[in-house]
Amino acid sequence: MREFFDVCIIGSGFGGSVCGAKLSGAKKTTLILEQGRRWDKNTFQQTQDVKYLKEIYEEFEGENIKVSTAMGVGGGSLLYSASSLRTSSLVFEQKDKNGRRLWPSEYSRKVLNPYYEKVEKNLNVSQLLWSEVPKRDGIFAKACNAAGYTCDRLRIAIVNCRNCGFCHTGCKFDRKQSLILNYIPEAEKNGAKIKEECKALLVKRNEKGYLVAYKDLKSGVINEVSCKTVIVSAGAIQSPALMLRSKKYLDNLSSHVGKNLTANGNIFLAAHLPKEDCEVFKGKVQGSVTYAFWEEGFVLQGVGTLPISATVINRVRFNNAKKPFYWGIEMKRVMKEYGRHLLGIAVIGLDGSDGSVFLDENENIKLIWSMSEKSRKVFDKAIVRAKEIVESLGGELLITEPYQEKGEVITVHPLGTCRMAGDKSDGVIDSNCQVFGNPNLYIVDSSAVPSPLGVNPSLTIAAIAERASDYIVQNFQP
């Protein structure tokens, strides 16, 4: 028997969980479909076991780009670093190559501030004390100071951290404020129903509003749910893919679906500091940031990394390494220095939104990144500045293979593939996240963000979701 709900939400990350809590709280019958399984402190693992990582991460590899996203009830919050920063007011004023403002006119930092405050309260966001940052972040700050630059403590969504260093595999102590501790239990308390391990296949118009077809991944059975309103919150890769699969069943989708993919200026860098004991594997994953290079289009953050990231994903090597670079003796050199003398540096910046998501003839998801001059300048400047900072403490900026040798980007912050805009000629959704030409169909997640943010995006995605939820509740059609 086909089920009926007022609202069907596809995805349970920073967009879907906020919408789920708000819509169910407004007495709307709410169904949340989540492709991944449920995780909690009893099922998270402090491990680099590839089998476990493949269960909780979803990886997309395309031409010149790789994207890592989370898979589970709670979405990206399960695995994020918990860095929670409001984006700069200047981000909202970014323009495209034709001089058009990327964000709809209704948006500004001032407009989003009340929604930022709501999210910060729900996630217990606070700024770290210097006594709370990991040792490696203190060393990163020391290096910034030696090079003549400022460094500050991050604002994070962690309470009484155990400093175990496994934020990116799930917090076993419920200290990191994942959505499974706040918005999701609120939604369920309000009566929302969550179906995990259920993948949305299509969204169609019908006489009552919309029909969502989904596959139960445990049984293999395909089901349908009818609803008045659909909120797509499957992320910057899966949301455009779903929209492209559903295109013939919807009304005149914008040609921007899947386009304008930004990596949020992400690249990973690594430093060797032979005179410093960095303790790279201990403490919170992130604790410090320098905004000294914001006018150049990026920030730098100290970051801890598990060995699998340094060796398999980002493939770090010394500048004087001899081939073969990434295994054998050269890999042993890296790992010998890893625990004490390696320091991770994360670049987050304003790239050129050079990527796209599309479907092949078999409807498989494909990605491509065509590096623009804008992106290349941001990445190259970041490398120069990081090198300057590292060398101020007698260190060496190492080579990371993806960008520095292959021209690839690896991002955990994909954004922009169903971006909001003033009209359909420039984007997919309006300023309230409603799909142009399709009333009561919304896209509320990372894909809605119309530009790179230059900081960790979770707080901004959730703030947009708070704002969009208010609109949906106020304009709900009975």
pTM, two decimals, is 0.98
How high is the pLDDT of residue 317? 95
Q: Are 86 and 460 in contact (CB under 8 A)?
A: yes
Count of domains observed in the chain: 1
- DSSP 8-class letter at 427: -
What span, in angstroms and rounded, lies between the C-alpha atoms of 131 and 95? 40
Residues shown for the chain? 478
pLDDT score of 188: 98
Beta strands in 99-187 (DSSP E): 126-127, 152-153, 155-156
Question: Are β-strands 155-156 and 193-196 bridged in parallel, bridged antiparallel, or unpaired?
Answer: unpaired
Contact 119, 85 (CB under 8 A): no
Distance of CA 323 to the CA centre of its chain: 34
CA atoms within 13 A on the CB side of 10: 30
Q: How many CB atoms lie within 10 A of CB 130?
A: 12
Q: Specify whether the CB–CB gap between 465 and 444 falls below 8 A.
A: yes
CA–CA separation, 108 vs 68, rounded Å? 29
Q: What is the pLDDT of residue 376?
A: 97
User: CA nearest 239: which of 67, 101, 423?
Assistant: 67
Q: Which residues pair with 95 in a beta bridge?
A: 101
Question: Domain range for residue 68?
Answer: 2-474
Contact 241, 309 (CB under 8 A): no
Q: Which of 471, 461, 477, 470 is nearest to 123 (CA)?
A: 461
Is residue 214 within 8 A of residue 199, CB to CB? The reply is yes
Give the mean pLDDT per block of 10 residues along the chain (478 residues): 92 98 98 98 96 96 97 98 97 93 97 98 98 96 98 98 95 98 98 98 95 97 97 98 97 96 97 95 94 98 90 92 91 92 97 98 97 98 98 97 95 98 96 97 98 98 98 92
Domain CATH code at residue 233: 3.50.50.60
* CA 78 – CA 90 distance, rounded (Å): 29
Q: Residue 182 to residues 25, 26, 65, 231, 456: CA-CA distances in angstroms?
A: 13, 17, 33, 20, 20
pLDDT at residue 1, rounded to an integer: 61
pLDDT value at position 312?
85
User: What is the Cα 108 distance to its own chain's centre?
Assistant: 21
Q: What is the largest CA-CA distance in the chain?
A: 69
Long-range (24+ apart) CB contacts under 8 A made by 327-334 are 334/310, 334/398
CB-CB contact of 330 with 311 (8 Å): no
Amino acid in the structure at residue 384: V
Neighbours of 51 (CB within 10 A): 8
Contact 394, 380 (CB under 8 A): no
Cα–Cα nearest to 270, from 133, 408, 401:
401
- What gap in Å lies between CA 36 and CA 57, rounded to an integer? 9
